[in-house]
Amino acid sequence: MNGRDRILAASGNFFGRRPYVEVSIAPILAEAEVQPPTLYHHFGDKEGLYVAWAHLAFAPLRTQLRIQRGSTLEEGLIAYAAIYYMMSGIDIQQVVRDIEGLTRDSSKEAVYGSYFEAIYEPLCAILIEGMDSGRLPQEAVGRLADLFLAGLNALSVHADRDSAGTAAWFVQRYLHGHCRSASS
């Protein structure tokens, strides 16, 4: 593994686990067994490393959270929630909070773009399909997505013990509050 890859791998043990401003570069470089010039050569600075790490951290989610069309609204949301809960090692809400701590607008846009593409777009696609089928009321998809994500995050403590059960339970409650009819 080259120096760039070692730095990215080591940064995953720090970023997304605690606030960006509390993460120091020194322990990342020590774990990666590289010198500071390697960081500056590949990433420019800590913020550049954070942007690269966030893009890499969200990459598997972009694939996993794209639920196949043809599943029922309930199946799609349960699959989405279960995958969301099974992501280990990254506190998505911390990453979203960290965006404001970045100094460059381009960095903020890049990290937010990675989040939006990996987390928000797949959820909105499921919800829009639910609206198109008549299962969900026609309303602002962003509102429905924000409510769904807020519920997922509020229950994340319980998901640590039983991610599949928590996902199914939450989706049932969410749909009960938003669906037009009980049939799929």
pLDDT per residue as tens digits for the range 91-138: 888 999 999 999 999 999 999 999 999 899 999 999 999 999 898 989
CA distance 11 to 38: 14
Q: Please name each of the domains of the chain with its CATH number.
A: 51-178 (1.10.357)
Residues paired with residue 15 on neighbouring β-strands, in sequence order: 18
Evaluate if residue 23 carries a pLDDT over 90. Answer: yes
Contact 16, 57 (CB under 8 A): yes
Positive or negative, the CA dihedral 78, 83, 87, 90 is negative
pLDDT band at 60 (very low <50, low <70, confident <90, very high): confident
pLDDT band at 172 (very low <50, low <70, confident <90, very high): very high
